[in-house]
Amino acid sequence: MDDIRAFLSRKPLLFDGGMGTYYKAAPGTDCEQANLTDPAGVRKVHAEYLAAGADAIKTNTFSLPRLAAGHVPGWEKLADAGWKLAAEAAAETGAAVFADLGPAPDTEAVPAAQVYTAVAERFAALGAKNFLFETLSSDVGILEAVRAVKAQVPEAFVLVSFAVLPDGYTREGVYCKDLVRRMTESGCVDAVGLNCVSAPGAMRTLARGLAGGALPLSVMPNAGYPVVTRTQVRYQGKPEYFARELSGMAAEGAVRILGGCCGTTPAHIAALRAALDALPERKLSAEPAKLSTTEVKPVENDDAFLRKLNAGEKVIAIELDSPRNADLTGYLEGARKLQAAGADLLTIADCPIAQARMDSSLVACRVHRELGMCTLPHMTCRDRNLNATKALLLGLYAEGVREVLAITGDPIPTAERDEVKNVYQFNSRKLAQYIVSLAGEDREMPTPMTVFGALNLNARNFDVELRRAGEKLENGMSGFLTQPVLSEQAVENLRRTRETLGSRAKILAGIMPVVSQRNAIFMENEINGIHVDEEIIQKFAGLDRTGGEELGLAISLEMARKALPYADGFYLMTPFNRVALMERLIAQLRTEVLQES
C-alpha cells in the first residue's frame, strides 16, 4: 500500500477484526504463542480478513508489551514471527501491516515508556512503518515511545487507540477528550481513536463527540457486548448492524479509520467493506477544524468549609467513625456535639482497617442533610470499581457533598477473609484524576468536587511519600490530611512538606489523642502509618482513664502548637468515639492554640 496519509486523503482505511477472539487458542494460552506453535493457523486468519476486504491488518502481537514487561523469555521471537506472518499475508494483496502493541503495565522498576519503546523498536528493526498502540486505559509512557519510534523511522505512521467505556472514561478514569487532546497536541501522533470495551452504537456516540479534530479519528468497537457462559465469552452482534453503524460514522465524516475488536469476524469486516464501498469518496479539507483545547475553569462551590480554608483561616476537621450497626442515632448526636463545639468539617472513614462499617458516603449525606454540616467522606480504591465509584460520586454531589478524601485503602487480610475480594482498579492518584474530570462542559457535574488525599508523615522513606504528594497534586488533589503528629520527626516532615509544596497544597495536620499506654502501644505496632515516640508511650504508664485523657489532651495541644506554622488547620481523629474528649480538645485548640496564631 502507498503512504497511509495519502490513502486517508482519498477514502477511509479499513482494518481487520479481533484476532484474539477469532483465533481459537488453547485455554490458558496467549494467542501470540501461535506465531511459533501454529503459524499456519495465524496466517489463515490474516488471509480471511484480507479476503473480507481489509486494507490493513494487525500483527498478532497484542500481548507483547505485557510479556516484555514481565521479562518473559522469547517475546522477541514472538515479535519476529508475528511480523513475518502478517507481512507475508499482506504481500499478496498489498495491504498495510501495523505492528500491534497492547497496554504495558507501568511500575517504578519497569516504566511503561521503557516497555513500549523496546517493543516498538524491535518492530522498527524488522521494517515496520506503521504502528498501532491499542486498548490503552491511559497515555502513560506512550508519547515517549512514539517519539523514539519517529527518531528511528521518521516516516512512521502511528495510531494510538484508547479503550473507553460508553460514558467516555477509561477503566482508569481518564476522559477520552482529554486523551485525544493530549495526543493531538503532542505533534508526533498521526491518528487517534477508540477501540474495544464499547459496542458500535455507544462508540458512534463517542465518536461524534470527538469529531472535527486535527488528527484522523479511528474506531474499532467490539461486535457487541459480551455474553458470559460457563466456558467462554461470546459476542452476538450481527455483521449487518456492525456495518451499518460504522459506515454511518464514515458517511458523517466523523471517522477515517475503521475496524473491529473483540468478537468481530471476517464476516463483520466483509459487511463493513461492502457498506464503505457504497459510500462516495470524500476528500479531507486542507485545514480540518482543531479539537478544542480550552480547559474548563473551576467554579467555586458554595461550601462554608472551603470558603474558610481558601480565605486563609485555620480550620478544624474531625473524624468520627461510622457505626458498625444500622443505628445512626448516637452517631448523629455525637456529630451534633462536635459541630456545636466548633468543628468545621466532619470526616468519615471508609471501612478503616478493611473492616465493614456503615457506608461513609451515606453517613456523610445524612449528616449534611440533617445538620447542615460540611462532610468529607473517605473513598477507597479497595471496594469499588469505576462504575460503582462514579455512581456514588454522583449521589454525593446531588446531596450537596462537595469534598471527598481519595485513598488507596487498607487491603483485606486474605488469610482471614478469603471470601471477600479487593478491587483496587486504580490508586488514589488515578481516583483523584477521575473525580475532578467529572466536572465541566458536557460532563456529569456542573462544578468540580474538591479532592483531598492522605499524607503519611511517619513514612519510613518520606522522600518517596513527598514525591507522591506532588504527583497527587498534579492529578487534581487540592490538599492533604496527615497521619497523627506524635513525634518530632513527624513535625519535621510536616515542615518539609510545606517547604516543598508551598501554597499549592492545603494541609490539615493530624492530631489524635493517645488515651492510655495500651492504646499507644497498639497504635505503634498495629496501625499502619502511625508512629508514637517511645517517650510518649512511657509517660502513660500507670495512668487511669481520667489521667490518660488529661495527658492525651496536653500532648495533642503541644503537637498542635508545633504543627501550626506549617498547617492550614487540624485533622482530629476521635479515639474510641470519645466525643466528650474531642469537644474539650476543639475548645482548647480554639482558645489556646489558634488564638495564638
What are the grid coordinates assigned to 99, written together?
Answer: 505492528
Q: On the CB side of 88, how many CA atoms lie within 13 Å of its CA?
A: 14
Centroid of chain to Cα 85: 36
Pairing mode, strands 345-348 and 450-455: unpaired
d(CA 270, CA 81): 27
Angle ∠(73,79,85) on CA atoms, nearest 5:
135
What are the grid coordinates assigned to 442, written together?
Answer: 458536557
What are the grid coordinates assigned to 597, written together?
Answer: 496564631
What is the C-alpha radius of gyration for the chain, rounded to an integer number of angstroms? 28
The answer to whether 507 and 566 are in contact (CB under 8 A) is yes
d(CA 439, CA 441): 7
For residue 525, give the amino acid letter: N
Neighbours of 207 (CB within 10 A): 25
The answer to whether 350 and 389 are in contact (CB under 8 A) is no
Closest to 102 measured CA to CA, from 148, 47, 162, 147: 162
Neighbours of 526 (CB within 10 A): 9
Closest to 204 measured CA to CA, from 183, 219, 184: 219
What SS3 class is residue 383? coil
d(CA 313, CA 332): 26
Closest to 382 measured CA to CA, from 350, 341, 340, 348: 350
d(CA 508, CA 587): 17
What SS3 class is residue 151? helix
d(CA 422, CA 255): 39
> What are the CA-CA distances from residue 559 to residues 68, 312, 593 (Å)?
49, 21, 10
d(CA 179, CA 160): 10
> What are the CA-CA distances from residue 127 to residues 98, 132, 149 (Å)?
11, 15, 12
Mark the binding-site residues for Zn(2+), compressed into ranges.
196, 261-262
The answer to whether 322 and 348 are in contact (CB under 8 A) is yes
What SS3 class is residue 443? coil
Mark the binding-site residues, compressed into ranges.
196, 261-262
Closest to 512 measured CA to CA, from 458, 460, 559: 559
Closest to 205 measured CA to CA, from 264, 164, 261, 162: 164
- Cα of first residue to Cα of last residue in the chain, in angstroms, is 73
The answer to whether 91 and 137 are in contact (CB under 8 A) is no
